[in-house]
Amino acid sequence: MTSTLGAVPADQDRKGPGRPRSARADEAIIEAVLALLSDGVPAEALSIESVAAKAGVGKATIYRRWPNKDALLLDTVAALKGPLPEIAGVSVRDDLLALMRPAGRSRPTGAAASVLPCIVSELKRSTKLAGVFQRVVIEPRRQLVGDVLRRGMASGELRADLDLPVVVAMLVSPMVAPTRCST
């Protein structure tokens, strides 16, 4: 897991003394955040202590990966959204379908998906974190959708006078903006 706010990835080789970081601990921590939120703990009430207890790790393990709760919440959002899908580049239609499908996300829908709106609203209270969320989660998706649409406009698959910013917003918004918080 690569932290969006500068934590060292779990699978990075350590050059100093000690053992390498466990990727399993990263997963357990993210899963603990999701479990606590889905159990009804509001994001603002979430504590590093409760996450550590739920994940079965020490607080120091969390703080070695994330400098604070906000960074942990941001990485939880990034983990829920998953990596950007690979697109074939053959057909604009196929590429847009690949981008719109939830398949390939690293987390299933359901309880995890129900807590996403709560995390996002918590992150947006901080201008700094909102900017990081925009840069790490939203902009890469906007860029990829825009690239596919521009390719379609250039190849004639799409109208040349397409209002690109409007279409990108219409397509990306459902992917990055959950609708309501259920906790």
Distance of CA 16 to the CA centre of its chain: 30
CA 22/CA 31 separation, integer angstroms: 14
CA 82/CA 109 separation, integer angstroms: 12
Query: Does residue 63 lie within any of the structural domains?
Result: no
Q: What is the pLDDT of residues 41-60, one digit of tens each?
A: 887 788 999 999 999 999 99
> Does residue 67 carry a pLDDT above 70?
yes
Contact 171, 100 (CB under 8 A): yes
Label residue 153 by pLDDT band (50, 70, 90): very high
Percent over 70 (pLDDT), the chain? 71
> Does residue 105 carry a pLDDT above 50?
no
Query: Does residue 172 lie within any of the structural domains?
Result: yes
Q: What is the pLDDT of residues 10-30, one digit of tens each?
A: 444 445 556 667 789 999 999
Q: What is the pLDDT of residue 182?
A: 52
Q: What is the pLDDT of residue 93?
A: 93
Query: Does residue 58 lie within any of the structural domains?
Result: no
Q: What is the pLDDT of residue 103?
A: 40
Number of domains in the chain: 1
Query: Does residue 156 lie within any of the structural domains?
Result: yes
Query: Does residue 3 lie within any of the structural domains?
Result: no
CA 165/CA 123 separation, integer angstroms: 25
Query: Does residue 68 lie within any of the structural domains?
Result: no
What are 167's two structure tokens?
């279409």
Q: What is the pLDDT of residue 91?
A: 92
Q: What is the pLDDT of residue 50?
A: 96
Q: What is the pLDDT of residue 100?
A: 79
Structural domain span for residue 158: 85-106+124-176
Query: Does residue 50 lie within any of the structural domains?
Result: no
Helix ranges (DSSP H) in the chain: 23-38, 48-55, 59-65, 69-81, 92-100, 111-123, 127-133, 139-155, 164-176
Label residue 134 by pLDDT band (50, 70, 90): confident
Q: What is the pLDDT of residue 87?
A: 87
Q: Buried b / exposed e across 50-87, counting CB within 10 Å, b at 16+?
A: ebbebbebeeebbeebbeebbbbbbbbbbbbbeeebeb
Contact 116, 80 (CB under 8 A): yes
CA distances (Å), origin 31, targets 67, 85, 158: 18, 22, 41
Query: Does residue 39 lie within any of the structural domains?
Result: no
Average pLDDT of 151-168? 95
Label residue 94 by pLDDT band (50, 70, 90): very high
> Does residue 176 carry a pLDDT above 80?
no
